Amino acid sequence: MLIKQMSVFVENTTGRLAELTRVLANDGIDIKASCIADTVDFGILRCIVDDPEEATKVLKENGFTASITEVIAVELEDRPGGFADVLEILAKEKIGVDYIYSTIRSKEGAAIIVLKVEDPKKAIDILLAHDVKLYKMEEISNMSHVK
């Protein structure tokens, strides 16, 4: 249930993010979810792609600094409190959330959120025990087909 996330350092210059996404597109790599945190000089693009190893390799070959981290993808009810329900489960078990972002695609009536947590394996066990739907990498990779 762990999802491989790619993190890429991106210089905060005009066109650099466009170059990064074009490199991925030219290699046939699809971005399924993403977020970017920036400072004055650089940003960190965190994203879920259909082939993180290949994406990391091709980006490094094109002068980018990229790495892979493990995250989890959680389905939430698309209603007020749906997100709070999942976060409260984690908080009660003293599992901190480092950051979150949503996917580009989701299911009807549901949102899919990517979470980076302090203890992903423990978080997975706890969420599954509470009947929270978690996504596998293959499901994320096929998200264009999720209805």
Q: Give the burial class of 144: count Cβ atoms within 10 A of its Cβ; 0-12 exposed, 13-18 middle, 19 or more buried.
A: exposed
CA atoms within 13 A on the CB side of 5: 27
**Does the predicted model carry a pTM greater than 0.95?**
no
68-113 confidence digits (pLDDT tens):
999 999 999 888 999 999 999 999 999 999 999 988 667 777 889 9
